[in-house]
Structure 1
Amino acid sequence: MSDQHCDTPACQEAADRAVKKVFAILGVDVDVPEQVEEFREDLRFGRRMRKAADHGFLALVGLVAVALGAAVWAGITSKLGGH
């Protein structure tokens, strides 16, 4: 990887074309602000879904831990109580 920067108009044009091509592959025309904003909203929605899934998984792990703890406690009290 080179640390050199190319500030010539040809380099800038090549970079602009590359960005437009990548976004076109993703279905976004960067010259249409509505499409860019819709794409950004889609990314935000994906982030919210990922965070919700992470929280849901954490809640599930907590629930399993509590259930195991309750089962162990019930087993201990059953043995000690003789029931």
Structure 2
Amino acid sequence: MSEEAAEHAVKKVFAILGVDIDRPESVEEFREDLRFGRKMRKAADHGFLALVGLICIGLGAAVWAGIVSKVSGGH
């Protein structure tokens, strides 16, 4: 009885997510969607890291240009 209740609960949860667990192609499509979401999250993480790196490089270049300007007489 508890096993039936658990199976019903699992089917209900997956049905809410739009997955028919009785159809293997539906389950595989859901898995592919999860993989795609993971790839997008990783790409966004890498993009954010690249943006932070560019900002740091820009700030470093501005500081360096200011130092060089002061040392060379402010022209």
TM score, norm. by length of structure 2: 0.97
Q: Distance in 2 between matches of 1:64 and 1:22?
A: 44
Matches within 5 A, 1:1-83: 10-82=1-73, 83=75
Give, as a single letter, the amino acid of the residue that structure 1 aligns with 2:65.
Answer: A
Give, as a single letter, the amino acid of the residue that structure 2 aligns with 1:21.
Answer: K
Q: Distance in 1 between matches of 2:58 and 2:45?
A: 20
Number of residue pairs matched? 74
- The runs of 5 or more residues in structure 2 that have no matched partner are none
- The runs of 5 or more residues in structure 1 that have no matched partner are 1-9
The 4+ residue runs of structure 1 with deviation greater than 3 A are none
- Secondary structure of the 2:22 match is coil
Q: Which has the higher helix share?
A: 2
TM score, norm. by length of structure 1: 0.88
Q: Matched residues, percent identical?
A: 78
